[in-house]
Structure 1
Amino acid sequence: MAGTYTSRQGETVDLACWRYYGRTAGVMEAVLTANPGLAAKGPILPIGTVMTMPDAVAPTSARQLVKLWD
């Protein structure tokens, strides 16, 4: 379900994604796409910036285990 999020003092887009979705992977790009001009506001968002937070998609790839020793 899509919603909105209002930025707090000293917040970045990735921190807002972390607070809203609990992750940044795969959602930060969707938030930037849903909010044209958001990146132009700079790395630290002005207080009170309202962002549209689109529906998050489930991660598509699982982590691959690396075997260090046989």
Structure 2
Amino acid sequence: MAATFERVVVAGDEITLDLLVWRRFKRRKDGVVDRILAANPELATGGPYLAVGTVVLIPIDAPTPGALRVEAVRLWN
């Protein structure tokens, strides 16, 4: 699975990697924190909070065909 990377700069205090993922994707995504740590191994040594100004590369997967399909919901006949 090919991924591009989005560059995010930490701009606040007491930001954890999990919170950064939540703010970026607006939901919990399994395996993303592990992939971020693989792309940014230096993040694993600094403690739970990311320092202000830290650059984090977040992998963004290309959408698969058909993944963006939305089913219509009919409320009335």
Which runs of structure 2 are paired with 1:27-46 in the superposition (5 Å)? 27-46=32-51
Matched, 1:2 2:10: no
Unaligned runs of 5+ in 2: 64-77
- 1:17-38 Cα shifts (integer Å, max 9, x gaps): 1111222422111111110111
Q: TM-score normalised to the size of structure 2?
A: 0.64
Match of residue 63 from structure 1: none
Hey, what's the Cα distance between the residues in 2 that align with 1:57 and 1:18?
Answer: 19
Hey, what's the Cα distance between the residues in 2 that align with 1:29 and 1:48?
Answer: 21
Q: Which has the larger radius of gyration?
A: 2
C-alpha change, 1:39 and 1:32, in structure 2 (3 Å) is: same
Question: Which amino acid counterpart does residue 18 of structure 1 have in structure 2?
Answer: W
Q: CA RMSD in A?
A: 1.9
Asked if 2 retains the 8 angstrom alpha-carbon contact of 1:21 and 1:56, the reply is no
Q: TM-score normalised to the size of structure 1?
A: 0.69
When you count strand as a share of all residues, which structure comes out higher? 2
Q: Kindly, what percent of the aligned residue pairs are identical?
A: 36
